[in-house]
Amino acid sequence: MNVPSPAALLQALPDGARVVVRYRIEGGFTDVLGYLVSADAAAVTVAGRRGNVTVPYALVTAAKQVPPPPERRAPRR
């Protein structure tokens, strides 16, 4: 089975796709969940809850496309 690298996967997705990207930070790993803004040859930019996050591919350890968020529930009465 030939699994594409995280960089290849992200570059193949259209802008606006909902993705999760796991990447290295000092002391461990973190994730950004949001919408793909751009994926060029060096880095990926994802629009997450706290704004745009740009991650160089050298730090990316995993990535995948995820489904849209669930609809919000109506408030309880």
Q: Could you give the maximum distance between any two Cα atoms of the chain, in Å?
A: 51
Q: What is the pLDDT of residues 10-57, one digit of tens each?
A: 999 999 999 999 999 999 999 999 999 999 999 999 999 999 999 999
- Pick from 29, 30, 26, 39: which is nearest to 65 by CA? 39
Per the structure, the complete domain to which residue 48 belongs is given by 6-65
How many CA atoms within 13 Å lie on the side-chain side of 3?
5
Q: Which amino acid is at 29?
A: F
Whether 1 is in a domain gets the answer: no
Please, which pLDDT band fits residue 75 given cuts at 50, 70 and 90? confident
Q: What is the pLDDT of residue 53?
A: 97
Query: What is the number of structural domains in the chain?
Result: 1
pLDDT at 8 over 90: yes
Q: Residue 13 belongs to a domain with what CATH number?
A: 2.30.30.520
